[in-house]
Amino acid sequence: MNSRGNFAPHLSLRFDSHMFSIDTSRSPKKCLQPDAYLITHAHSDHYGKSAMLSPLAIASEETARALEIRYGREYKGRTFSVGESILVGDQVVETYPTGHTIGSVAFFWENDVGTKILVTGDVKNHGSLPPCDLLVTEANYGDPWDPACRFDDDITAFGDAVDSGATFGAYAFGKAQRAVALIRGLGYGDEIGMDEQSLALTQELMPQFGPFTPAEDNGTDITDINVVTPWNLPRMRGMKYVLTGRKDLPYPRIILSDHLDFRGLMKMIEEASPEATIVYHPEGEKANRLALYLRDQGRDAISVSEVEKSFYK
Ligand SMILES: [Zn+2]
């Protein structure tokens, strides 16, 4: 296991005869190659941009397509439908939806000695995740002592904004599709204006949620609904909101997260009831703090950077 250096920014897990690299970039040719590069979803901090170029890559159909649209490259690996099992050599790997982005999954397998391993990726809904012995979890909002890690989605404010017409600033992959699904869920049936990359991704990955139209053509009608990347907000007219966690933008913010907050993460861990937990993403303080908190609660837990420290000392 190594998260240092350029070649494996996330995590490789090796048990007996199998080694899986999860959310890592490709290893240099001279290094030990994994059995597979498992890509949990198409966000850039999970390194699919690199792993997608390996025939050893494994990702959901939606994740593979999202990577192709985002990076203009051909996905070289294998794909599966979310929820399907895949065979890597003689190892069955199960997949479970996590509700974080279109096509996002957690991976689950049982190793040669019967240890059940669950690697979460980023998670919004943990409801379908199975119990496990070793949990490898994200901790994007895992700092128990940071008030910003406790939040509820503000669906009411979002619904009010949709009712009166608004432009929402949301990143093109993930948040933009979440916004579109919610807008349709609230009963809005007219065209949704979107800027270029959001439109390309949403049109292809969620065609049933149309109609969509390029945001630039949407004119000045204040009943219009638009979803654009935050840096395109200044070009839009009418009421504007940001749906990101960024606080440096001069628009009111509506909380609509793609992640579990700290309480959600704890609930997920409780339900997975692992014997041990590795906190693998993101690197740094948040992961360390979640691991520390879990140990305080009497659980076996360690973060990847703590593993690294003990490895290199
Ligand atoms: Zn993500």
What's the alpha-carbon Rg for the chain, to the nearest Å? 20
- The rounded Å distance from CA 25 to ligand 1 centre is 15
Residue ranges per structural domain of the chain = 11-145+260-312, 152-242
Q: How many angstroms does the Cα of residue 148 sit away from the middle of ligand 1?
A: 18
How far apart are the CA of 250 and the centre of ligand 1, in A? 24
For the chain, the average pLDDT equals 91
CB of 2 closer than 8 Å to CB of 125 = no
82 in Cβ contact with 60 (< 8 Å): yes
Fold entry, domain 11-145+260-312: Metallo-beta-lactamase; Chain A (3.60.15)
Q: What is the pLDDT of residues 167-216, one digit of tens each?
A: 999 999 999 999 999 999 999 999 999 999 999 999 999 999 999 999 87
Residue 57 CA to residue 99 CA, distance in Å, equals 21
Percent of the chain whose pLDDT exceeds 90: 76
Distance 124 CA to ligand 1 centre (A): 10
Distance 101 CA to ligand 1 centre (A): 7
pTM: 0.92
Q: How far is the CA of 191 from the centre of ligand 1 (A)?
A: 27
